[in-house]
Every structure is written in structure tokens, then in C-alpha cells.
Copies of this chain bind each other. A is one copy, B any other.
Amino acid sequence: MATGRSHRPATRSRGIPEATVARLPLYLRALTALSERSVPTVSSEELAAAAGVNSAKLRKDFSYLGSYGTRGVGYDVEYLVYQISRELGLTQDWPVVIVGIGNLGAALANYGGFASRGFRVAALLDADASLAGRLVAGLPVRHIDELEAIVADNQVSIGVIATPAGAAQEVTDRLVNAGVTSILNFAPTVLSVPDGVDVRKVDLSIELQILAFHEQRKAGEGRQEPDGDVPAVMPA
């Protein structure tokens, strides 16, 4: 993962496991690449390799969506692209607002994966009034005071938070009050939201720390465990 979430129960009504949902975008990306190369069909083995997963897992994942393959043949690429897109809700338009237009917000605004695949950046918002009007990724930055009106006018249900940590909770509260029910949080804070609001968190330093853990273990391979050490700080 990337990392934190706060959801309803792990499986939903028709019962697609959360772990499967998280992999559907991977499959979709691999399928889109095949589609662009005009590959008509693909086997679970090939597609799994392209997506970087085990083929049994892929077939199990697809079995939650329905029986979209043909035994002895494989999967029709275009058909599967459509089915997965529909399952993920990407056949409809999702207006999003990005709050906090620093380097990260600008990177997100420019990110190609946003504009394609059903997501439309409805507005870029920042608390810095001197940024207002500046064009980022072809869109004018607007002042945070316009948040409520923009969310209402564009029926925005997804907000992306790229503000400093200190501003994230207040921005969240305003987004939620204005009607946003899904939040992608890049600020390094735990957000509190009411029931029914989904938060996903992307945390750069957490990913790095997880790598450091494994890196340390590699370096220590076969060496003496440094764990019996007298701690540098003792409990009170």
C-alpha cells in the first residue's frame, strides 16, 4: 500500500474483497497497454506477469467480477478493459478538487493519470491569495474561500489534499461539510472524518521508512544481531 485507509467493512454488497479492488487498477493499466498495442486477447499468465502478480490470484480476482474469460483462449482485452472500468466506476466522470498547490499539488495537477480515466480536475485551490489566477496545468489557481461554492457547483465528491500537515484537518472539515465523501490525503496527518467518508493516505516518508527497515535487515544479514544492546535511553 500505500498505506492508511478508513473504510466500511472490507467487502461490499456484492462482495469484492478490498485486496481485489486494490489490484483492479493494476490490471486495468496492463490491459490498457495491451489495448494500445492492439493485442486482442491475453491469458491470465501473461496478464499476471505484466501486472506483477500471481496468475492464480488474478483469476480469483476476476472471478469476483464474473466469468469474462474463455477457457482454452484467455481474456478479450477490450472487453475486460470495459468491465474493469465499469466495476471501478471509471465509465463515469469524477470531478475532483486539489487543495494546496505547492510542488506536490502542481505535480498532481499535471499528472496524466488524473485527466484520463474518468477523473476531471474541477479546480485547484490554495490558501495563498497571491497564487490566485496563476495557471497550473492549464487551470487557474483559485482561493480556498471558493471551496464550498466550487464543490457544490461541480458536484465534487472527491478531494485531494496536498497542503501542509497543519492545514489538512481544517481543509478536510470544509470539504466534508461541502459534500465531499472521498479524500486522498498526501499530508502526513491522521484525519478524522465522519462515518461514510473514505480517506486514503499516501505518505512518502512512511514508504521510505519501510524501505529503510528492509535495507537495514539486508545490511545485517549474517551479522550479529544488535538487539541485546543496552538501550541508549532507559524507561522512566
Bits for A95-119, please: 1 = Cβ < 8 Å to B, else 0.
0100000111011101101100111
B103 touches A110 (CB 8 A): yes
B202 touches A184 (CB 8 A): no
Stretch at the interface among A144-152, A169-177, A226-234: A226-234
A209: interface (CB < 8 Å): yes
A102 touches B107 (CB 8 A): yes
A7: interface (CB < 8 Å): yes
Chain B residues positioned under 8 Å from A119 (CB to CB)? 205, 208, 212
Stretch at the interface among A19-27, A55-63, A127-135: A19-27
Distance to closest chain B CB from A195 (angstroms): 11
A45: interface (CB < 8 Å): no
A209 touches B2 (CB 8 A): no
Q: Which of B3, B76, B82, B227 contacts A2 (CB 8 A)?
A: B3
Q: Which of B90, B104, B206 contacts A212 (CB 8 A)?
A: B90
B7 touches A235 (CB 8 A): no
A225: interface (CB < 8 Å): yes
Instruction: Tell me, in angstroms, the Cα distance from A157 to B227 when the chains sit together.
Output: 23
Q: Which residue of B lies closest to A137 (CB)?
A: B103
Q: Which residue of B lies closest to A30 (CB)?
A: B190
A207 touches B216 (CB 8 A): no
Give the number of copies in the complex. Answer: 2
Q: Taking A79-B233, A205-B111, A225-B14 as contacts, is the C-beta distance between A214 and B7 under 8 angstroms? A: yes
A92: interface (CB < 8 Å): yes
Bits for A4-22, please: 1 = Cβ < 8 Å to B, else 0.
1111100011100000011
A44: interface (CB < 8 Å): no
Instruction: Tell me, in angstroms, the Cα distance from A51 to B201 when the chains sit together.
Output: 13
Distance to closest chain B CB from A103 (angstroms): 4
Distance to closest chain B CB from A111 (angstroms): 6
A70: interface (CB < 8 Å): yes
Instruction: Tell me, in angstroms, the Cα distance from A216 to B107 when the chains sit together.
Output: 26
Segment 23-40 of A: residues with Cβ below 8 Å from B: 24-26, 28-30, 40
Segment 183-236 of A: residues with Cβ below 8 Å from B: 183-184, 188, 190, 196, 198, 200, 202-219, 225, 227, 231-236
**4 extra A-B contacts, CB within 8 A, seeds A1-B5, A21-B210, A111-B205:** A14-B225, A68-B235, A90-B209, A119-B208
